[in-house]
Amino acid sequence: MAYYNIIDYITIATTGNAIDFGDRTTSGAANQSIAACASSTRGVMGGGITVNTMDYVTIASTGDATDFGDLTAARYALTAAASPTRGVFLKGANVVHTMDYITIASTGNATDFGNDQVGPAGYQGACSNGTRATMGGGNGASNIIAYITIASTGDATDFGDLTVGRNTPAALSGSA
Specify the pairing of strand 132-136 against strand 125-128.
antiparallel
User: Interface with another protein includes 171 (CB under 8 A)?
Assistant: yes
Return the amino acid letter for 155. D
- Give yes or no for residue 105 binding another protein (CB under 8 A): no
Q: Which of positions 6-65 make contact with another protein (CB under 8 A)?
A: 6-13, 15-21, 24, 26, 29, 31-41, 43-45, 48, 57, 59-60, 65
The rounded distance, in Å, linking the Cα atoms of 176 and 72 is 35
DSSP run (H or E) holding 100? strand 98-103
By beta-carbon proximity to another protein, the closer residue of 31 and 98 is: 31
68 binds another protein (CB under 8 A): no
Pairing of the two strands 53-58 and 42-46: antiparallel
Residues 119-138 that bind another protein (CB under 8 A): 123, 125, 127-132, 134, 136-137
Site size toward another protein (CB under 8 A) is 78
Measured from the CB of residue 98, what is the shortest distance to another protein in angstroms?
19
